[in-house]
Structure formats: structure tokens, C-alpha cells
Amino acid sequence: MEMKFGELNLHNTELALTAGLDRQLIKEGLPQVAFSGRSNVGKSSLINSLLGRKKLARVSSEPGKTITVNYYCIDKKLNLVDLPGYGFARRSKTDIAKWSKLTAGYFENNSSLMLVLQLVDSRAGITSDDRQMLDWLYHYDIPYMLVITKCDKLNKTELTKQVDKIINDPAVRPQTECVLYSSLKGLGREALMNSIIEKVM
Ligand SMILES: Nc1nc2c(ncn2[C@@H]2O[C@H](COP(=O)(O)OP(=O)(O)O)[C@@H](O)[C@H]2O)c(=O)[nH]1
Ligand SMILES: [Mg+2]
């Protein structure tokens, strides 16, 4: 596993902050790349895969349990930000309110936010929650890319069909950059890391 990407030494990575309240959120300083998507879509796995670490970000079998924003700092140069997942069916009103407040708080006046990676599950495709999130990113003019996750779960024909459906969804604007990913196989890692560095550093 390549442990250097451009200037970034991936060995030097730490969980810098777990924020559960919007006043704890970081709005300045190091550039941020945020990971957004449904609970269970593979956000934490993607962060671990990019960093070449097995367990830095917690991968959960029980999705959507904690509502926090987690900052992973790479080499004191870049923050990867794991946003709380959405679309978890059995979530209380209190939790939904907490999710909204924290997520809106994260995007609000965040001058350090350079790029959002919007994750979409290759098998599930774009859900109505994903559409709302995409509309929102577009509306607030936040630069984003799509990452299609868990691509190892489909065969080539199925994958082509699903990707076609995803990129032709009305919520996905033309020219949206899109990376196919599998954290299990490391597929897309190089391409995504290069895209991040090119856009952010
Ligand atoms: N087959 C496969 N499973 C994955 C992949 N990425 C994540 N998963 C599994 O999907 C589940 C949710 O992953 P997690 O990273 O915790 O999702 P999060 O809730 O978005 O952070 C876990 O059981 C992971 O092992 C992938 O690329 N391939
Ligand atoms: Mg997670």
C-alpha cells in the first residue's frame, strides 16, 4: 500500500476531533474534504481505505448510532471529515433534529471546506435522501464529487447498468465527476486520492 500521496505522509494521521455539538465544529485552518452519505454507505471504510489504515475510522455493523463529525488530520496538512450518515430508518425525532443541526452547522460559513465526496451505494443507487443532499450541495454551491461505493458487490454488467442510472439521475448535474470505489479491493484509491490532491492542495 502506497503510504505517500504527493506531499502527504499518510503514516502521520490521527483522529484530531470528534464533534457532537455545532459549536465544536472547525471553520478555519487546514483545508477540509468532507465525506457525506447514507448511514452504512461506506464512509468510514472509504476513509480507512484512502489512508491505508484498517481501523482508524470506526466501521459499524450497526449504522447510524452516533451523530458526530469526525476529523482525521493527515500530516498536519489536510482534514478528512466523516459527516454523520443520514437515511437511517429507525431514528428518533431527537436524533433527526441533532443530525440536521450538526450537518447544517458544518456547512454554514465553513471557509475551510474545499470539497465534498458524496457517496452513493452502487447497489442501492440514488435514494430520495441522496437527492436532497445533492440538491442542497448544488444550491449552496459546494464543490462535490460522486463516489460510487462497494463496487465489488456487483458484476461488470450490473455495475455498468447501475453507474449509468446513477449518473443519469436528475439530481446529478451534467459534468459531475464520479469515481468508482471498492474499499474492500482498493479499487479507485489512486484516482480518488489524485483528485483530492489536485482540487484541494
Ligand atoms: N463489500 C464491501 N463492503 C463494504 C465496502 N465498504 C464498506 N463496506 C461494508 O459496509 C458496512 C458499512 O460500512 P461503514 O464504512 O461503516 O459505513 P458508514 O456508515 O457510511 O461509515 C460495513 O459492514 C462495511 O464492511 C466495500 O467497498 N465493499
Ligand atoms: Mg461511519
The reported pTM is 0.95
Q: Which atom of ligand 1 is nearest to the CA of 48?
A: 15
Does residue 1 have a pLDDT over 60? no
Check if 42 has its Cβ closer than 6 Å to any atom of ligand 1: yes
What's the pLDDT score for residue 128? 93
Parallel, antiparallel or unpaired: strands 144-149 and 113-121: parallel
Lowest average pLDDT, out of 90-104, 135-149, 164-178, goes to 90-104
What's the pLDDT score for residue 110? 95
Does residue 90 have a pLDDT over 80? no
DSSP state of 83: P
Query: In the chain, how many H helices and how many E strands?
Result: 5, 9
What's the pLDDT score for residue 93? 87
Mean pLDDT calculated for residue range 83-87: 91
Does residue 2 have a pLDDT over 90? no
Q: Exposed, middle or buried by CB within 10 Å (0-12, 13-18, 19+), for 183?
A: buried
Please check whether residue 8 is in contact with residue 51, taking contact to mean a CB–CB distance below 8 angstroms.
Answer: no
What's the pLDDT score for residue 62? 57
What's the pLDDT score for residue 63? 54
- Nearest CA among 54, 108, 102 for reference residue 82: 102
- CB under 5 Å of ion ligand 2: residues: 43-44
Mean pLDDT calculated for residue range 6-10: 86
**123 or 60, higher pLDDT:** 123
Mean pLDDT calculated for residue range 3-31: 91
In the chain the beta strands, taken as DSSP E runs, fall at 4-5, 8-9, 13-19, 32-36, 69-74, 78-82, 113-121, 144-149, 178-180
Parallel, antiparallel or unpaired: strands 144-149 and 178-180: parallel
Mean pLDDT rounded to a whole number for the chain: 91
- pLDDT tens-place string over residues 31-73: 999 999 999 999 999 999 999 887 887 776 555 567 899 999 9
What's the pLDDT score for residue 64? 53
Cα 59 to middle of ligand 2, angstroms: 5
Lowest average pLDDT, out of 14-28, 30-44, 91-105, goes to 91-105
Does residue 13 have a pLDDT over 90? yes
Does residue 100 have a pLDDT over 60? yes
- Select from 3.20.20.70, 3.40.50.300, 1.10.287.130, 1.10.10.10 the CATH code of 4-200: 3.40.50.300
Residues 6+ away with beta carbon under 8 Å from 1: 52, 186
Cα 90 to middle of ligand 2, angstroms: 16
